[in-house]
Structure 1
């Protein structure tokens, strides 16, 4: 039996056994690719329900949204965005993150409703972002709010 196995692994005379290894590696790569695409395109609600994927999904969400906030902060610092525009973009990004991370429709919730829900940690920040967005006479430091938004997203559990 070992001779048969050796003959199978080595293949026909003149072929290297590395072709079998390469073929198996390519097959595993294709399987991994399909699994990765399937998982990456699943809705967030289903990803949050799968124990093996839940933590990875949360890390990826935090990373992606924190990068978006950092981009908004950079654009505001470079004077590409006004205080009002930056406040609106930060609020929209934070609300989208909260929806993706928790499933609660934070985009449509009033700040008081956010404060009365499991999202209460974000309520003071959303209130300050609303002030920056709608009150031109406010002295809110949008740069500071941007850093606070990024920190909240990075530390969200």
Structure 2
């Protein structure tokens, strides 16, 4: 039996919005201008046009969609000092509202499996929606990162990985 092609796959680089730490802290968007053929200057390290730093006003609720695009690795993410309410998983809400179902389905009980947590574990291909309520949170900088320490750097580099800041103003 021949093994599947991804059997020997090893992930060495992890990102948030296409960037590794400390580039995840950039507020400004970056532009990518390809070099002319005779230009020997190195390419910029990031061509991601969207900022990865998360900024929220105190008292607001912040919706984060956490997606693990890896097929072989599990990641646990957290932000010390912030609680998450899991409100969706796998493109489904964590609550069933019978009034929104076709025909109203009288007699159907609403099921709610949303829950509060301070960390979320994502398997390969999984996506989870969480809400961070900043009502009772002091203003400050909260580090959002993976607790899998081997993914706080990319390959043999001292930087990169799954980490950014959530700034509550």
TM-score when scaled to structure 2? 0.24
| Higher RCO (CA < 8 A, seq sep 6+) | 2
TM-score when scaled to structure 1? 0.25
Give 1 or 2: higher strand fraction. 2
Give 1 or 2: higher helix fraction. 1
- Greater radius of gyration (CA): 1
